[in-house]
């Protein structure tokens, strides 16, 4: 069975550029989560969706961050404009229902120069 | 107060021995869930085990078991018969709240090294 698929696996870009991270959740999963992991702050929940609807975006750090889920099989996390402090590993996860175990993608390692 | 506390930044265990990774949590919500994840050096996050607040028995999944002590608010992970492949970071996590209003928290992790 296909797990959560994230792309790209690695992204290196210059400060000020727009960055778009993509996620395909596990088929049939109704909840989707975006996390950011850094050495300093650990794993932080940025936003999560239930049935494609954003439920809690209180973890989104700034207006430069936005996330969408146009359908049940696709979500994006966009950073515009990007800054060096956005460098981190970004994980997408999905669960069958909210509150149930989340299954993570392999992450996108983002470096902003 | 921290929602999830993992007090052991690093642990060592001899291969084939059992090891316990500590996790305490803080919530006043009667409905919550506790999770453990493994993150090897390759970076992926692997779900290991789940315990619901209303579950009467401790969760077990193969060599993993969760020692759930509700009154103490602890959810320690026990790995039996450690293997070299168990060397990784281990994260305890909690979900509190109800559908449409859950909050999710992760601990800072424990680095486990299995010694041959």
Instruction: Kindly list the residues from chain B whose CB atom is less than 8 angstroms away from the CB atom of residue A55.
Output: 100-102
Angle at the Cα of B32 from the Cα atoms of B29 and B35, rounded to 5 degrees: 145
Q: Report chain A's mean pLDDT, rounded to a whole number.
A: 94
By C-alpha distance, the chain A residue nearest B53 is A99
Alpha-carbon distance values, A76 to A10, A24, B67 (Å): 15, 9, 37
Using the Cβ of B46 and the Cβ atoms of chain A, whether some distance falls under 8 Å is answered with: yes
Residue A31: predicted pLDDT: 94
Q: Which residue has the tokens 């999944």?
A: B61
Q: Does the pLDDT at position B80 exceed 80? A: yes
Residue B48's pLDDT is: 97
pLDDT tens, A22-31? 999 999 999 9
Average pLDDT over residues A71-78: 96
List, for residues B17-48, the tens digit of each pLDDT value: 999 999 999 999 998 999 999 999 999 999 99
Residue with tokens 């207006």: A63
Between chains, do A99 and B50 touch, taking CB under 8 Å as contact? no
Name the band, by pLDDT with cuts 50, 70 and 90, for residue B102.
confident
Phi, psi for B83 (deg, rounded to 5)? -120, 160
CB pairs under 8 A between A and B: 53
pLDDT for position A97: 86
Of residues B44, B100, B101, nearest to A104 (C-beta): B44
Mean pLDDT across A2-22: 96
Contact flag A42-B45 (C-beta cutoff 8 Å): no
Which chain A residue's Cα is nearest to B45? A104
Disruptive mutation site among A29, A38, A39, A43 for chain B (greatest number of B CBs within 10 Å):
A43
H or E element, residue B85: none
The rounded percent of chain A whose pLDDT value lies above 70 is 99
Tell me which chain B residue has its CA closest to the CA of residue A51. Answer: B100
In the predicted model, is pLDDT for residue B99 greater than 80? no
Burial A59-78 (b: 16+ CB within 10 A, else e): bbeeeebebebeebbebebe
Residues of B in contact with A45 (CB under 8 A): 104, 106
Asked if the C-beta of B64 comes within 8 angstroms of chain A's C-beta atoms, the answer is no
Query: Is the pLDDT score of A1 beyond 80?
Result: no
Question: pLDDT value at position A7?
Answer: 97
Residue B45 touches chain A, beta carbons under 8 Å: yes
């Amino acid at each position: 069975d296909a797990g959560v698929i994230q792309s790209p696996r690695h992204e290196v870009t210059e400060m000020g550029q727009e960055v778009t991270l993509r996620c395909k959740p596990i088929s049939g999963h109704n909840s989707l989560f975006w996390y950011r992991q850094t050495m300093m702050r650990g794993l932080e929940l940025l936003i999560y969706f239930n049935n494609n609807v954003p439920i809690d975006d209180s973890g989104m750090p700034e207006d430069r961050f936005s996330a969408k889920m146009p359908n049940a099989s696709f979500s994006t996390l966009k950073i515009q404009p990007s800054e060096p402090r956005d460098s981190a590993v970004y994980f997408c996860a999905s669960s069958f229902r909210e509150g149930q175990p989340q299954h993570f993608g392999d992450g996108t390692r983002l470096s902003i120069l | 107060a921290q929602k999830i506390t993992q007090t052991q930044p690093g642990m060592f265990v001899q291969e084939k021995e059992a090891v316990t990774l500590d996790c305490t949590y803080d919530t006043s919500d009667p409905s919550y869930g506790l999770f453990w994840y493994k993150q090897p050096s390759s970076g992926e996050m692997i779900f290991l085990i789940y315990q619901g607040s209303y579950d009467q028995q401790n969760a077990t999944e193969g060599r993993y078991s969760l020692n759930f002590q509700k009154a103490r608010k602890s959810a320690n992970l026990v790995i039996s018969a450690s293997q070299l492949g168990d060397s990784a970071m281990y994260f305890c996590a909690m979900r509190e709240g109800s559908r449409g209003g859950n909050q999710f928290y992760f601990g800072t992790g424990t680095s486990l090294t299995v010694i041959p």
